[in-house]
């Protein structure tokens, strides 16, 4: 069952008088529990595609359905609600609040989704324990390693049970051993909790954890 479906996605930008065709007709589906890796050179359109699939940008053309909801590009004000309910993001730079503990970083994300108080704290503790940070709940980011910070970022993405996880270069700042640990956590949680995961990466190690590997070049997708 597809939890994300994109059909003939087109994205253009205006640079002065010139129209730049970044995406030129992308067809992509993501099945429940599936791990898909998206590779491509810089400038190929992969970050733009990830932003559209994550309901940060709207496409210029084509159709997008996320978790059973058709995305109307004429109603960008509805995108934040789709992101809150259906999508978890993991970023290369972690994007943690430096003054908040691991627990508070995840709780804050849950607050944005409307989950507050004891319920938010319990959920934050659950996902942090799930990624192996039971002993680091009250550590600040400055007191954690890169791998631990990425685990907090993953816990934040998992919080609230979004069916779709989108990861942008999640192992880029990690050494081989720690990167492998993070990828195994991604894989095990996606399969155990039936999450769908799309990873944009240059890291060839990620392929071993994928159900499918896709390549994008010049705004076009190939298997």
Task: Return the SS3 of 88.
Answer: strand
Distance separating alpha carbons of residues 106 and 136, to the nearest angstrom: 13
User: How far apart, in Å, do the first and last CA atoms of the chain sit?
Assistant: 20
Q: Where are the domains of the chain?
A: 2-222
Give the tens place of pLDDT for each residue, 73-131. Answer: 888 888 999 999 999 999 878 889 999 999 999 999 999 999 999 999 999 999 999 99
The count of other CB atoms within 10 Å of the CB of residue 222 is 8
**pLDDT over 70 percentage in the chain:** 100
- Compute φ and ψ for 150, nearest 5 degrees: -70, -30
| Buried b / exposed e along 6-15 (16+ C-beta atoms within 10 A) | beebbbeeee
pTM, entire model: 0.91
Quick one: pLDDT at residue 91?
A: 83
The per-residue pLDDT for range 139-170, each reduced to its tens digit, is: 999 999 999 999 999 999 999 999 999 999 88
| CATH 3.40.50.300 holds for 2-222 | yes
Angstrom distance (rounded) from CA 192 to CA 188: 6
């Amino acid at each position: 069952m597809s939890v994300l479906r994109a059909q003939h996605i087109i994205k253009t930008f205006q640079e002065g008088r010139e129209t730049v065709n970044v995406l030129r007709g992308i067809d992509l589906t993501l099945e429940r529990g599936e791990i898909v890796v998206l590779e491509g050179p810089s400038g190929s359109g992969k970050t733009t595609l990830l932003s559209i699939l994550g309901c940060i940008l709207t496409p210029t053309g084509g159709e997008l359905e996320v978790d059973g909801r058709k995305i109307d590009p004429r109603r960008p004000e509805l995108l934040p609600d789709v992101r809150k309910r259906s999508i978890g993001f993991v970023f290369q730079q972690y994007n943690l609040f430096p003054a908040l503990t691991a627990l508070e970083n995840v709780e804050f994300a849950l607050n944005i989704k409307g989950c507050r108080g004891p319920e938010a704290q319990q959920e934050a503790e659950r996902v942090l324990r799930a990624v192996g940070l039971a002993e680091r709940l009250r550590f600040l980011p400055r007191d954690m390693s890169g791998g631990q910070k990425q685990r907090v970022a993953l816990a934040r993405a998992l919080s609230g049970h979004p069916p779709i996880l989108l990861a942008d270069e999640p192992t880029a700042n990690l050494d081989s051993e720690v990167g492998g640990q993070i990828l195994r956590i991604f894989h095990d949680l996606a399969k155990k909790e039936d999450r769908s995961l799309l990873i944009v990466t240059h890291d060839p190690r990620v392929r071993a954890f994928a159900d499918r590997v896709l390549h994008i070049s010049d705004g076009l997708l190939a298997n």
